[in-house]
Amino acid sequence: MVHITIYGEPGRYAGWPANYGIWNWGDEIVVGFTVGYHSNEGGFHARDRSKPFIGAQARSLDGGESWVVAPVPAQSPGGRGLSADEHVRAELQLADAASGLTPCPGEITFTHPDFALMCARNGLSDGAVSFFYLSDDRCQLWHGPYALPSFGLRGIAARTDYLVSGPKTCTLLLTSAKSDGDEGRTFCARTTDGGATFEHLGWIGDEPAGFSIMPASVRLPDGALLAAVRCRGAGETFDRAHNWIDLYRSDDDGRSWRSIGRPVANTGRGGNPPTMLRLRDGRLCMTYGVREAPYRMCAKLSSDGGASWTDEIALRDDGGGHDIGYPRTVQRADGSVVTIYYWHSTPEGERHIAATVWEP
């Protein structure tokens, strides 16, 4: 395994690739993240809430061996940081700047060879508004933002997870506020008219007592959909709540879902989202962080469509604390896997974006 630093600067806090997305075309890889300022007084996340977060993306042309980092080439509502409102003070948030978003014109060709889609949001719970961007040039320029509908729900907290199944058809896996307005419950939505309209297809599991958020999906050769979901149980305090990853399957193209297991029983204090990839040899690869000592990035593999999984594979276990993870994973041209996440190596070290290149 090879570990590579993609971005890291003194005094800066870089984080949460899972909130933004990853895209690849063979050995050309693009990953999104956000950059703010480091503060060890920041609480669970060591960031300075009084300073802004700015969207960034990194591009590699050699399968993740080297990277060029630049501001995300997208127009942000109000010029604020994307998908980071919970990490900054009110005056730095997108908040109402996300109102008045324009609808998508519905002219997307999802099967364009250089297509990419990125979701964003201004919150996590009641009242959260979400939107999306489109690119047809491998993330050199993002068009948008375009409004996502509320689907009649109390809030939509979108991260990037989508499956293309035709020139005008794309399935989004999303998180909504629960019926009481708290974060969150996962569901499946679809557009069949190039992004002009979206339909709520089906909930992924029952409404949880804690939360069920940040789905990561794949489509199997038989047409079934799988979604791995970050889960939290109800707890008296944040520190006491149990966190894990559940797996769901849909055999009717996203309209109904059934639980098929719990591939990761514990993701540590605060929890961590999964990401899933179908390897070229047909196996499934799930990667995730564990926010409990030893603080680590992990993977599991499945050869039977998610029915069973290997024991945990530690990609690295030298984290400086719980503030790690949020991975995205792709397979490059030679079959190696590139997993990207945020990390710190010492308890007070700045959070940086790192990649691990490994053989599944």
Q: What is the DSSP letter of 107?
A: -
What confidence score (pLDDT) does residue 125 get? Answer: 94
For the residues 320-342, what does the mean pLDDT come to? 97
What confidence score (pLDDT) does residue 178 get? Answer: 97
For the residues 295-314, what does the mean pLDDT come to? 98
What confidence score (pLDDT) does residue 240 get? Answer: 83
336-356 exposure pattern, b = at least 16 Cβ within 10 A, e = fewer: bbbbbbbbbbeeebbbbbbbb
Q: Does the pLDDT value for residue 96 go beyond 80?
A: no
- Mean pLDDT, the chain, whole residue set: 96
The amino acid that residue 215 corresponds to is: P
Which domains, and CATH codes, for the chain? 2-358 (2.120.10.10)
What confidence score (pLDDT) does residue 237 get? Answer: 78
What confidence score (pLDDT) does residue 129 get? Answer: 94
Of 49-58, 94-103, 170-179, 205-214, which gets the smallest average pLDDT? 94-103
Percent of the chain at pLDDT > 70 equals 99
Rounded Cα–Cα distance for residues 346 and 319 (Å): 7
Q: Which residues pair with 134 in a beta bridge?
A: 117, 143
Specify whether the CB–CB gap between 330 and 358 falls below 8 A.
no
Q: Does the pLDDT value for residue 99 go beyond 80?
A: no
Q: Does the pLDDT value for residue 198 go beyond 90?
A: yes
What confidence score (pLDDT) does residue 235 get? Answer: 78
- Joined tokens for residue 343: 């990390």
What confidence score (pLDDT) does residue 280 get? Answer: 97
Counting beta carbons within 10 angstroms of the beta carbon of residue 226, is it exposed (0 to 12), middle (13 to 18) or buried (19 or more)? buried
Q: How confident is the model at residue 238 (pLDDT cuts 50, 70, 90)?
A: confident
Between 42 and 78, the more confident residue is 42
- Smallest CA-to-CA distance from 316 within 274, 277, 355 is with 355
Phi, psi of 114 (to 5 degrees): -110, 25
Run of H or E including 327: strand 325-331
Q: How confident is the model at residue 17 (pLDDT cuts 50, 70, 90)?
A: very high
Q: What is the DSSP letter of 157?
A: -
- Joined tokens for residue 344: 């710190």
For the residues 100-120, what does the mean pLDDT come to? 94
What confidence score (pLDDT) does residue 353 get? Answer: 98
The amino acid that residue 101 corresponds to is: L
Q: How confident is the model at residue 236 (pLDDT cuts 50, 70, 90)?
A: confident
- Joined tokens for residue 268: 């540590």
Q: How confident is the model at residue 104 (pLDDT cuts 50, 70, 90)?
A: very high
Specify whether the CB–CB gap between 133 and 143 falls below 8 A.
yes
- Joined tokens for residue 305: 């469509």
Specify whether the CB–CB gap between 176 and 151 falls below 8 A.
yes
Q: Strand 296-302 relative to strand 284-290: parallel, antiparallel, unpaired?
A: antiparallel
25 three-state secondary structure? strand
What confidence score (pLDDT) does residue 232 get? Answer: 97
What confidence score (pLDDT) does residue 154 get? Answer: 97
Q: How confident is the model at residue 350 (pLDDT cuts 50, 70, 90)?
A: very high
From edge to edge, which strands make up the β-sheet containing 296-302? Answer: 275-278, 284-290, 296-302, 313-316
Rounded Cα–Cα distance for residues 286 and 269 (Å): 20
Highest mean pLDDT pick, 82-96, 131-145, 228-242 = 131-145
Global pTM reads 0.96
What confidence score (pLDDT) does residue 95 get? Answer: 72
For the residues 2-8, what does the mean pLDDT come to? 98
First to last CA, the chain: 10
What confidence score (pLDDT) does residue 107 get? Answer: 86
CB proximity list for 293: less than 8 A, separation 6 or greater: none
29-47 exposure pattern, b = at least 16 Cβ within 10 A, e = fewer: bbbbbbbbbbbeebeebbb
The three-point CA angle 157-278-192 to 5° equals: 50
For the residues 273-287, what does the mean pLDDT come to? 98
- Smallest CA-to-CA distance from 281 within 226, 336, 228, 321 is with 336
Cis peptide bond upstream of 294, omega within 30: yes
